[in-house]
Amino acid sequence: MEKGKLIVIEGVDSSGKATQADLIFRFLKDRLLNVKKITFPNYSSDSSALVKMYLNGEFGTDPEEVNPYAASVFFAADRFASFTTDWGQFYKSGGILIADRYVSSNMIYQAAKFKKQDKSDEFMEWLSDLEFSKLGLPVPDMVIFLSLPPYLCLKLSDSRLNKFTGLAEKDIHESKKSYLEKTYETALRIADKYNWQKIDCSSKSGVRPIKDINSDIINIINKIL
């Protein structure tokens, strides 16, 4: 049987990933397609224990001071556990997966820790080999990057409650403005490097309406379904 499709909704913190992933899932479900939504990290699983420790600052409260290779392994292991115990067989049997974050998040948040671009690129090659080759995780058919400037993300972040059980109100990524700005700049560069589909989520008045952003995503997704 032909393998399924993996569509990733990516972006920095508070850019609207969870909202859009949910809307796309419902849209495809209404079309009677065999679709499943997955989210990373998988906070409901024990496999996210080290991820929670990292994001809660137990390995250091400054994310840039935590080894990017070690941090990446925490997230990769959680993803491997989820693939093996939850959605792997669904994907292999032809199902459509909508992912709220994926390997691309490891790229964005950990590559941003490197001061030199060549070291950042070297890291991303290592990460791709780890997750896709060594761990055997599927390569996405499409990554859709929700581009929203950090100052707007911070406004949205301040207006919402963190719903992730076991995490502080703001994790170490969200609580450092300069790091959020670095991750956004890194994300734009990586999006170009790996040909991600970029959607501008900002407008002159602030954030574009959710339904307009969703319409853009649907138009892109329809090209591969």
| pLDDT for position 1 | 53
The confidence band for 169, taking pLDDT boundaries of 50, 70 and 90, is: low
Tell me what percent of the residues of the chain surpass a pLDDT of 70. 94
| 25-58 pLDDT per residue, tens | 999 999 999 999 999 999 999 999 999 999 999 9
**Looking at residues 131-143, what average pLDDT do you find?**
98
Question: Is the pLDDT assigned to residue 161 strictly greater than 60?
Answer: no
Beta-carbon contacts of 148 under 8 Å, excluding residues fewer than 6 positions away, are: 11, 12, 14, 15, 16, 201, 202, 207
Token couple for 45: 């699983």
In the chain the domains, ranked by start, together with CATH numbers, are: 5-221 (3.40.50.300)
Confidence category of residue 166, pLDDT binned at 50, 70, 90: very low
Write down the pLDDT at residue 154: 81
190 touches 10 (CB < 8 A): no
Q: Tell me, what amino acid is at 69?
A: Y
- HSE on the CB side for 13, CA within 13 Å? 26
In sequence order, what DSSP letters do the residues of 94-110 get, joined into one string? T-EEEEES-HHHHHHHH
Let me know if 191 is exposed, middle or buried by CB neighbors in 10 A (0-12, 13-18, 19+): buried
Would you tell me the crossing angle of helices 117-128 and 68-82 to the nearest 10 degrees? 30
- The mean-pLDDT minimum among 21-30, 34-43, 140-149, 175-184 falls in 175-184
- pLDDT for position 36: 98
| Average predicted confidence (pLDDT) for the chain | 92
The pLDDT tens digits for 68-108 are: 999 999 999 999 999 999 999 999 999 999 999 999 999 99
- Residues 11-15: what's their mean pLDDT? 91
- The burial class, CB within 10 Å (0-12 / 13-18 / 19+), for 204 is exposed
Tokens of 192: 């170009």
Output DSSP code: residue 133. I
pLDDT of residue 160: 54
Q: What pLDDT score was predicted for residue 124?
A: 97
pTM, two decimals, is 0.92
DSSP output for 39-65? ESS-TTSGGGHHHHHHHTTTT-SSGGG
